[in-house]
Chains A and B, each alone.
Chain A
Amino acid sequence: MKSQRLTGRRLTSAAIYLLSGALGLVAFIYPFFAPVVAADRAWAHGQDAPLLTAALVGLSVLALMVELQGRSLSAKTVAMLGVLVAVTSVLRFLETAFPMPGGFSPIFAPIMIAGYVFGGRFGFLMGTFTLLASALITGGVGPWLPYQMYTAGWAGLTAGWLRTLASAMRRPRSGRVSRLDVGAGHLSEDRGQAWTRWSILMLCIFGFMWGLLYGAIVNVYFWPFAGGPAEQTWVPGIGLGETLARYAAFYVVTSLVWDLTRAAGNVALILLLGAPMVKALERFRRRFNFEVGDVGQRAGSTQEEAGICV
């Protein structure tokens, strides 16, 4: 009975992740396929679709937050999340006080590293709350905020999945490295160092990719409204290929250099701070997982609390 309930819970949880992700994705990329429909049927939603998109992104963030919070956060997770969000928000404050080159922002590397160490659920919450808290302290609340929260949340969420991928890719040479192995300090020093180097390499690639993706995704929300040359603006009814070509031209002209500095900044920060941060966070993860009591009964829930199972 209990296992049936657990399977049902996992299935609904996976469905919520999938559907809210799909909803957000469709809401973001609708300009790329809506024109095909418009050309075909002489019907388009040039005016109302952008407003609906904003509502849909908001609803999908709400649904994902309900799901992520619905699994009940422990006091340790709440405290750690709050403090890490505070530390990262201070970095954002530094960014606004001392403007940095292009789109470089010091907040993305900590979000990805935290998601990588503590799991996707923790990463998503850290991404969304960091953007929200830093917007509150720097006066950055605006129509752009839900989109920024959603995208940063997904960067943190996928960083958790990266850990699984990194572990699976290490399997042939040195055996699969599970989060539990690292968390419980089961790895030898050499293997531990090799694993940290491998993690940093994976995080660098991931950080570079999200540096570009963040800009490319967030741009899409205002692109249908943006004015500009005909070869860079969205017009209903021009077809998928033409829309993609126009968006690519718009992105290259307005954002590529900006986003490249963000991507390069992410890589530089991960190279500089990644290894000590991963080590420190791993150590605290072990400490946060430590509980006195019936280990056999509590082990599963404790791992889940720290986001291990996401």
Chain B
Amino acid sequence: MFDARVWLIWALATLVTASSTRNPLYIIVLLLTTTVVSATCPEGEGRRAPLSPLRFATFAVPLSTVFNALTVHFGHTVLFRLPDWLPLMGGTVTLEAMSFGAVNGLTLTVIFSAFSVFNQVTPVRDLIRLAPRAFHEGGVVLSIALTFIPQTARSLNRIRDAQAVRGHRVRGVRDWVPIVVPLLVSGLERAMGLAEAMVARGYGAVSDEAQPVHRAGVLVLGLLALLGGWLAYLFRPAWQTGAVAMMIVGAALVGVVVWVTGRGVRHTVYRERRWTLGDSLVLAGCALTLAITLTQSTALQYSPYPRLELPPFAPIVGLGMLGLLVPAVVTLGQETTESHQTKGIGQQAHLKADNG
């Protein structure tokens, strides 16, 4: 499958594109795209969200439609009227407000669907690997937490069983106390053992030094530049170029500190994943979609107010959005090639068996 960074960029590109328009036709194209990608890309070792995009849509779209229809009293096509004494809801209920609410619900579904795909296809270990080296201690904490979660869940069941044997039944929130406190205490006991094992194996023996003051000073400068630049950007339109430059310098200084801190961390990788042609193709697809989104912002604009009209559809924008479909195309291409190869090997084996 693809690199975790590629999937992250794909999800972000979908987010930016979906946030840039309220044209239902483009939103439907994006929804179909994420659905096809979700259906074609294998789950891998990722996690499925507890709520599927379809189930999300079944409550997000009606909820958003009703909420907008009842609270926005604007638009020419009046469906009915609610009494004025009703707070917030009193007034006309229009078709335009309903449509806008439905499109908002669909947009939320697209964003949810894109990140569901990201969660579904990206293994947790690849996500942890995305963390910069400077945060290696954070990575260790996260690894411990993720390793201990199944153990903690097993402990929870064991404690519940043990308490049940002693006649304890969970009927209300109060009954969780004799379960949660032993769970916490047993977890902390395990932490004690783990810490001793880590020290015995030399954890912290070489990296037990605080961050140098000058590095913290650079971080302060970076934050100052970011804050100053952001305030100037908001309050001083005449200084816009300087403000943007300040923010870039600030971000660069923070980035340099993260990079320098990470450089001092020794890093070994077991069987590093190679960058593939598929990764590059997906990135190119995302770049195409983002380029179209940023350059065709006028074509993306649509509002059902004041009178509902058919939304326009620019083919170039629709085609550009199909750039997000590249993961599905590449995956299908790979599967076809693999099945041909398997068939070829099978035929060779048949021939050998016949000759034999």
Residues of A within 8 A of B (CB): 5, 8-9, 12-13, 15-16, 19-20, 22-23, 26-27, 30, 33-34, 37, 41, 43, 45, 49, 51-52, 55-56, 59-60, 62-63, 65-67, 69-76, 78-87, 89-90, 93, 96-97, 125, 129, 132-133, 136-143, 225-232, 253, 268, 272-273, 276-277, 280-281, 284, 287-288
Contact = CB atoms under 8 A, between A and B. Distances in A.
Contacts of B237: 37, 41, 43
Interface string B186-215: 011011101100110001100111110101
A138 B199 CA distance: 32
A143 B111 contact: yes
Contacts of A55: 251
A225 B115 contact: no
A132 B142 contact: yes
Contacts of A139: 46-50, 116, 119-120
B326 interface: no
Q: Is the interface of A mostly helix, strand, loop or mixed?
A: helix
Given A70-B261, A89-B149, A272-B177, A19 B254 contact: no
Shortest 6 CB-CB contacts between residues of A and residues of B:
A82-B144, A70-B211, A139-B49, A86-B148, A19-B223, A139-B119
Given A26-B231, A75-B203, A230 B74 contact: yes
A66 B230 contact: no
B25 interface: no
A87 B226 CA distance: 36
Contact of B152 (A90, A268, A284, A287): A90
Given A139-B116, A228-B71, A228-B72, A72 B210 contact: yes
Contact of B219 (A67, A138, A273): A67
Interface of B: 15-16, 19, 22, 46-50, 67-68, 71-74, 88, 100-101, 104, 111-112, 115-116, 118-120, 124, 127, 134-135, 137-138, 140-149, 151-153, 156, 173-174, 176-177, 180-181, 183-185, 187-188, 190-192, 194-195, 198-199, 203-204, 207-211, 213, 215-217, 219-220, 222-224, 226-227, 230-231, 233-235, 237, 247, 250-251, 254, 257-258, 261
Nearest to B71: A229
A38 B172 CA distance: 53
20 contacts: A5-B213, A16-B223, A19-B220, A51-B16, A52-B233, A56-B230, A59-B251, A67-B219, A76-B191, A82-B147, A83-B144, A83-B145, A85-B142, A87-B187, A89-B145, A139-B46, A229-B71, A229-B73, A230-B74, A280-B184
Q: Which of B46, B88, B191, B227 has the most CB of A within 10 A?
A: B191
